Amino acid sequence: MSTQEEQYIHFANSMDSLNTAWRALKEIKKQKGNPLVGYAFQFALIEYSKPYKAAYGMAVKRHILPGKYIPKNHLELHKRIIKARDKFYAHLDLDIRDAKVYVQTTELGRNIIRSQNLIDGTEEMKNIDDIISLIEGTLDAMREEAKKLGDDLPVNI
């Protein structure tokens, strides 16, 4: 696969991930009482984040969608989503959990107690409309580039 083809595939896959996140968020708005909404919301934010994290290729070592497609008025929201993905959704970083371990020995045996911040992953749910707007604005900004990348591909069959 050529560098040009790999770049096109990453760009198209990035748009697919953003569209998947958009569809999930739109469905979440219809399913407010569903107990799976929190998990679906986390999934949507992970899908949103995928284009902005390293995708490893063969022709190009690392593909990352540049931030130039993110609407300026949603840049802070984008940063919060990526930070949450890096700290919580896709990892088990301990610093945000502020965990403590307490160990006690009694005549009944050893007790180990763990306390930590409870993070349910829906902290940004109140901003669902803004997240949808962020995705729509990003996709709008990407459409022209997607067409150009496709038009520049050489015929190969």
Do the domain assignments include residue 121? Answer: no
Answer for the pair 49, 81: CB distance below 8 angstroms, yes or no.
yes
Task: Compute the distance between CA of residue 97 and CA of residue 27 in angstroms, rounded to an integer.
Answer: 30
- Give pTM, 2 decimals: 0.84
**What pLDDT shows up at residue 93?**
67
pLDDT higher than 80, residue 91:
no
- Range(s) of the domain holding residue 60: 3-94+128-152
Do the domain assignments include residue 58? Answer: yes
Do the domain assignments include residue 51? Answer: yes
- Total count of domains within the chain: 1
pLDDT, mean of residues 59-87? 92
pLDDT, mean of residues 57-75? 91
Do the domain assignments include residue 60? Answer: yes
Do the domain assignments include residue 78? Answer: yes
Task: Compute the distance between CA of residue 71 and CA of residue 48 in angstroms, rounded to an integer.
Answer: 14
CB contact set of 81 (below 8 Å; sequence gap of 6+):
45, 48, 49, 124, 131
pLDDT, mean of residues 82-106? 82
pLDDT above 90 covers a percentage of the chain that reads 64
pLDDT digits (tens, 9 = 90+) for 15-47: 999 999 999 999 999 998 899 999 999 999 999
pLDDT above 70 covers a percentage of the chain that reads 97
Do the domain assignments include residue 74? Answer: yes
